[in-house]
Structure 1
């Protein structure tokens, strides 16, 4: 059986499905053609899938402004870009589908071009412009299927998701609406609202890559939604080289999370990451480093591994060359092996992306949530304030004092570890990748 994977080519969207694709390739004998950007080729091929490059996708975070310059959650530019690239990407993908004839297409909630593609193919077949029917499809959700449902009413949603206002924003919305109508007319489809196609695109099978206990109001979702659990494989392919200082840290702590048995270790490991898209907020990393500089005088066994991204690492290296001192209990890296660190960490300071949050739940590591944008405020609200897996801090109000208090609170109040350990046991028993692959395989055989 041949499958096309047309998910959004960002690491936070690729990682959650890698385990599923491995299962489909190695245990279900499926031929998978996985689209992505060239820099993701090795990761995609490590699943056993065949890599095929998207022709027109741009790097998704090149134009993102830091939070202090743009505090709003504004998806208009994102959806405008999706429309622009779809003009070119859709004809190429249709050619590929008509040539390769896949029996299934897998896409995720933000694969807007893929959703447009399915609508265009359906319309072309109905209008007899093409003899190739639209293949069956499966939608993957790597975050809450509908953010509004995290709350009983939309007011709570609006309070967290700060939307812009003003004349320019209203003009942007108008331009997007016009672009959407022109796009729909060009391809002959009925689609007037790109936000609607994102939130309410109908699929017979929807795979959600976290356990149902994380989803608020699970009862509101119909049987097409399958909450399978964490799908990132345990044995993630390691980078060809690993920083020697990090290797020493990893060797000091057994790769079985110490939270489970409250094991005493020589070192209390704290892992810090803001993901790969919103890590341009260097002021948060500065605050973390200053905080650990102060903690070094109080706690001599604390160690922070801080993954800052390559651009920020260059900035820190320039500062170091000019006399900036990194405390001994802080290791700054561009990237770090997240799974290996979560297997050993006592605390995770995170932006609360759903991928990272699902992984920290899987490994039973309590969090300090510092949400930036997108779905992160919703996820932080859920895991910190409702499920009590950690402490949430406002990025605009973060300082060394409240961060130090939050660190001490997590490390000294065992209730956070106990709460997340109970959820971790459920996650460990979910077998998300194999369950998702079975659902997809059975779905293919029934269509």
Structure 2
């Protein structure tokens, strides 16, 4: 490995509360960053042809699939050896070159290896490789053929890819500087939205960059107002630089932390939902049912804010009265029926949110909380140590989320029970930090 190599990683996410409302800048959401991370190892070398720059992104875990792009005389072309198209990689590369105004060849070969932690994909058919520091699942299939678990792999990919390219074009890159993080965030949002073909809420890219956050989105027109790159590359570059460097995006990212001795469990339900279809159905329902739909959103928001307030109260209690907090946690471990006033508020707020999403499910046809998931969540609420159970993000059949005490053993309480036969508990923890630089040695000699 080249001595100039650097590695960057970004966390996955779970939108605990704020589903659908997060699309509106008026509403606050609560996003938990997860211990499962996406990783990018970048190195540069001088090629034989000093007049050409190539950027190769490789996915060693997925059959060593590669995507190569060549920059020659100001034009970026897709290499003919690429077996598939990956818009997230392509948009990330194009925007990084545009932002840094790399119009002419730098005479570099840039190589980026992308890794994803095991929780991002189904492990079926994989081989674990490790070196005592890192472990990854390797597949004999392309990445498009392996089922995902919904942790935000595309947002993580774009964010670490953008960071890796930043480090090449700005060798003094320092992720401890807030303005640097915001520039990476802004550029990653642009690339991610363009790759998706739509302007999403951006909570996943924000969590990949900043970690666990209370989040309110940016205005969509910030990205939609960019000029067409194909019409004028120069106009696009100037507009992009102004958007990244000088524009106030007016999004909110407040660092948050789950209360002491609590953890988030995600359960993969071995199914899946198409978020875009769900969102489209909900949007149509919302527009056709005004002002009633607006009142329902206000009810959901009230539940969201009450839930966030109860988490803040628990955090405060753990600091100001640790003995009382210890009793609260111990009682939760012993009985699922225990209801301290803070716990009661937390449960009532989630109940309000779920009630309204079930209403939207019935009226819109978007299966946010379908009956089978309702039954599963209600069963989870009978487990010791569980504070609340809900469906994160856009809902559907992707996963369930439980907020529990650290001592809760879900495996022992659910193993062998028919109602949990399709649930796989993911080995994840909440993390505070977003983007960070890693040690290169941790990615070498995987076997």
Structure with greater helix share of residues: 1
TM above 0.5, yes or no, is no
Q: TM-score range by the shorter chain?
A: under 0.3
Structure with greater strand share of residues: 2
State the structure with bigger RCO (CA 8 A, min sep 6), 1 or 2: 2
